[in-house]
Each structure stands twice: as structure tokens, then as C-alpha cells.
């Protein structure tokens, strides 16, 4: 038998089974209901951001009456309308994605960061906290959140588009399948570091010593792995249990531990919503343990994130079908609610000195 005959018969079989199984009228009704539901969810999210911004503004004004903005809070402004001098940041700030922007919680209250106007897949602050690099479905952008100035640095070549900074703050690190990409921020010059075949990092983080941490592999081959920033022999820190999807691995500030998130990933087609777990393992691969369960993950379109602050605070975003809540995870796994948002999270370091 020739391949063409076999393929055409298989195609005919598939088309017939699709024709047989479907009721377009029912599917069309479902499509309209889904569209209405999503529209309503979007409007609710916008309204929530408006209210949160108004409440924060009220607090920041010391009890003066807050004026509700007439339009949804825009995460970006033009450079001209934004502040030109950045006020000092005495404390590290917790930053989350909200809509197409970033919101920052700190002792200064709730602030919208400038220069971000896209669907943010991942983001990370430079070591001095003055700039943020973020990945969108198409680009990697570097922005100054205080002035709103932003510049497209490079194209994004993966869905996850992970970004992080090198310890010297001179380069942004991202990945494409089989490669680490080091992009010099001032010039846009790119260098690459080869990874083993099949490695397509879902998240990236660099230790102060220049060791790049990443999550690679699928539900049955997931691993936490490291590779030196300058290239060299990759090493596997921890192999994830079978049928576990791991993501967002981060070094602790002292580089002695790694935290990451995981979700059980049953074999298809028995799909389910499962526990979203915060895990920790020592940097040498020993003493792997579950630190906390932060909800049931449906992860509707946004993979929840996790990050360790420079002062050792571990923050994590929960995600279920109804709410997204950010928690700080204590040493014994105690959860303290610290905000809301969705998807990736990061800590913005305080102003040096």
C-alpha cells in the first residue's frame, strides 16, 4: 500500500467521524455563551482594577477622598506625562501582572508601573530595580517603570518567553528551543549558549554566581537543571515525579535552595484541575519537599508564578477558576495573603544604598 492511499483514507475517516459527531447548532450556541461569559469576566476584572486603584489612591492621600478614575487604570503612560525623576524605593516591592500592565505593592502603596502595555508572559527586574524586562508573545522589552521609557530588545521565540537578568545587570537572558540567548541591553547584541537537544526552558533564573536555573521537559521528563552562564556542562538538580508539570523555578537569594511550582498532570484525556504546589529543594538536589499547596490550579491562560525577594521573602500567585490571590509563603509553609493579580510575579529590589 502507498502512503498517499493510506493518508487519504485516514483523512476521509477523520472527516466522516467529525461530521458524524458534531451538531453545529449546539456548538454555535455554546460558542456564543462562552463569548458572553468571557466578556463579562473581562469587564469584571477591569472594574476590580479600577476599584483597587481608587482604594490605594485613597490610602496614599492620607484619607482624602479618592476620585474614581473614569476609565480603567492604564498601566502605561507616555514618557512625557510620566515622572522624570524616580523617587527612592526604600523597600522591595511585590509586583504582579494585572491586565496588560504591572501593579506594584510596597510601603508606598499600590502603584501602576509605567512602560508596560502588552500581554506579559514573564518579567524580571534588573538587580538595582531600575528597569524591568518583560516577555510578550512576540517580543522582549526593557522598560524604565519610573519614566515609562521602553525599548524592544529582541524577538521572542517561545510561547513562555522567559526573561531574567544577568547578575551585572548588563544583559537580559531568554531562551529558544535548545539555546540560551544573552542579549546585551545597551547594544542589543546577542550571544547564545547551547543547551542539550530537546531542552526548551519554561523559566529562567540566574544565581549571583552566574548559574542559570531552568525548568525543562514535559510532564514525564520534567527536570530542574542548571547551566553556567558562560556555557559549559549542564547539570540536573532535581527530576520531577512522573506526570508532574513544573514551572517557575527560582534561586533563593543565597543560592542555597531552589523553589518551584508544580501541578499534577494526569495522562490525557483524563484532564483535571489539580493542586498547585510550591516546592523547595536544596541546590545540590537534596531534601526536596512540598512547602505549601496554594490552591487548585485550572490555570486558565496564565501560568501562576513565584519569586524570591532579595531579602528572602517567597511570594507565589495562586490560580483557580474563580480567584487569583498572591501569597507570601512562610518558612513552615504558612500562607499570608499579600495581593491579587494573575500569572507571573516578581520582586522589585529596593533602591541600592
Can residue 6 be called a binding residue for another protein (CB under 8 A)? Answer: yes
Residue from the set 45, 48, 273, 288 that interacts with another protein by CB under 8 A: 273
Q: For residue 115, which of 93, 143, 137 has the smallest C-alpha distance?
A: 143
Can residue 3 be called a binding residue for another protein (CB under 8 A)? Answer: yes
Can residue 31 be called a binding residue for another protein (CB under 8 A)? Answer: yes
CB-nearer residue toward another protein: 9 or 86: 9
Can residue 32 be called a binding residue for another protein (CB under 8 A)? Answer: yes
Residue from the set 100, 106, 138, 176 that interacts with another protein by CB under 8 A: 138
Residue from the set 133, 259, 278, 299 that interacts with another protein by CB under 8 A: 299
Residue from the set 81, 85, 187, 270 that interacts with another protein by CB under 8 A: 270
Can residue 8 be called a binding residue for another protein (CB under 8 A)? Answer: yes
Residue from the set 70, 80, 233, 271 that interacts with another protein by CB under 8 A: 271
How far is residue 218's CA from residue 202's CA, in Å, rounded to a whole number?
Answer: 10
Can residue 9 be called a binding residue for another protein (CB under 8 A)? Answer: yes
Shortest separation between residue 26's beta carbon and another protein, angstroms: 11
Shortest separation between residue 310's beta carbon and another protein, angstroms: 29
134, β-bridge pairs: 123, 141
Can residue 54 be called a binding residue for another protein (CB under 8 A)? Answer: no
Can residue 40 be called a binding residue for another protein (CB under 8 A)? Answer: no
How far is residue 344's CA from residue 123's CA, in Å, rounded to a whole number?
Answer: 7
Contact criterion met (CB below 8 Å) for 54 and 30 = no
Stretch that binds another protein, among 65-73, 79-87, 182-190, 295-303 (CB under 8 A): 295-303
In order, the DSSP letters of 151-184 are EEEEE--SSS---EE-TTSSEEEEEETTEEEEEE
In this structure, the dihedral spanned by the alpha carbons of residues 165, 170, 174 and 175, taken in order and rounded to 10 degrees, is -130
In order, the DSSP letters of 92-139 are -EEEEEETTEEEEEETTEEEEPSS--S--SEEEE-TTSS-EEEE-SSE
The beta strand positions in 240-353, using DSSP E, are 244-251, 257-264, 274-282, 289-297, 306-308, 314-317, 325-329, 335-340, 342-348
Q: At residue 117, what are phi and psi to the nearest 5 degrees?
A: -145, 50
Contact criterion met (CB below 8 Å) for 180 and 193 = yes
Residues within window 144-183 making contact with another protein, judged by CB under 8 A:
159-160
Can residue 235 be called a binding residue for another protein (CB under 8 A)? Answer: no
Residue ranges that bind another protein, judged by CB under 8 A: 1-4, 6-11, 13-15, 17-19, 21-22, 24, 27-28, 30-32, 34-35, 137-138, 159-160, 268-273, 298-301, 303, 321
Amino acid at each position: 500500500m502507498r502512503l498517499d492511499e493510506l493518508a487519504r483514507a485516514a483523512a476521509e475517516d477523520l472527516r466522516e467521524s467529525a461530521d458524524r459527531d458534531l451538531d453545529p447548532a449546539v456548538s454555535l450556541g455554546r460558542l456564543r455563551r462562552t463569548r458572553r461569559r468571557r466578556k463579562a469576566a473581562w469587564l469584571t476584572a477591569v472594574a476590580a482594577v479600577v476599584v483597587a486603584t481608587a482604594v490605594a489612591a485613597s490610602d496614599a492621600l492620607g484619607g482624602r477622598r479618592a476620585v474614581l478614575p473614569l476609565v480603567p487604570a492604564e498601566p502605561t503612560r507616555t514618557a512625557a506625562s510620566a515622572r522624570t525623576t524616580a523617587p527612592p524605593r526604600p523597600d522591595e516591592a511585590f509586583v504582579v501582572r494585572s491586565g496588560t500592565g504591572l501593579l506594584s505593592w510596597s510601603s508606598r502603596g499600590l502603584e501602576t508601573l509605567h512602560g508596560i502595555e502588552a500581554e506579559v508572559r514573564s518579567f524580571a527586574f534588573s538587580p538595582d530595580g531600575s528597569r524591568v524586562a518583560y516577555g510578550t508573545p512576540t517580543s522582549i522589552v526593557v522598560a524604565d517603570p519610573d519614566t515609562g521609557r521602553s525599548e524592544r530588545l529582541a524577538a521572542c521565540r517561545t510561547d513562555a518567553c522567559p526573561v531574567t537578568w544577568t547578575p551585572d545587570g548588563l544583559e537580559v537572558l531568554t531562551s529558544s528551543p535548545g539555546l540560551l540567548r544573552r542579549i546585551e541591553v545597551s547594544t542589543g547584541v546577542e550571544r547564545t549558549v547551547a543547551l542539550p537537544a530537546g531542552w526548551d526552558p519554561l523559566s529562567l533564573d540566574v544565581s549571583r554566581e552566574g548559574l542559570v536555573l531552568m525548568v525543562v521537559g514535559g510532564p514525564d521528563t520534567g527536570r530542574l537543571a542548571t547551566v553556567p552562564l558562560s556555557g559549559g556542562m549542564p547539570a540536573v538538580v532535581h527530576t520531577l515525579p512522573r506526570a508532574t508539570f513544573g514551572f517557575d523555578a527560582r534561586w533563593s537569594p543565597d543560592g542555597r535552595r531552589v523553589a518551584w511550582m508544580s501541578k499534577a498532570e494526569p495522562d490525557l484525556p483524563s484532564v483535571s484541575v489539580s493542586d498547585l504546589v510550591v516546592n523547595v529543594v536544596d541546590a545540590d538536589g537534596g531534601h526536596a519537599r512540598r512547602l505549601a499547596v496554594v490552591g487548585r490550579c485550572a490555570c486558565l491562560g496564565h501560568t501562576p508564578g513565584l519569586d524570591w525577594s532579595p531579602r528572602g521573602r517567597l511570594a507565589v500567585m495562586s490560580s483557580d477558576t474563580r480567584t487569583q490571590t498572591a501569597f507570601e509563603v512562610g518558612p513552615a509553609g504558612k500562607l499570608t495573603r499579600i495581593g491579587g493579580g494573575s500569572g507571573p510575579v516578581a520582586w522589585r529590589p529596593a533602591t541600592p544604598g
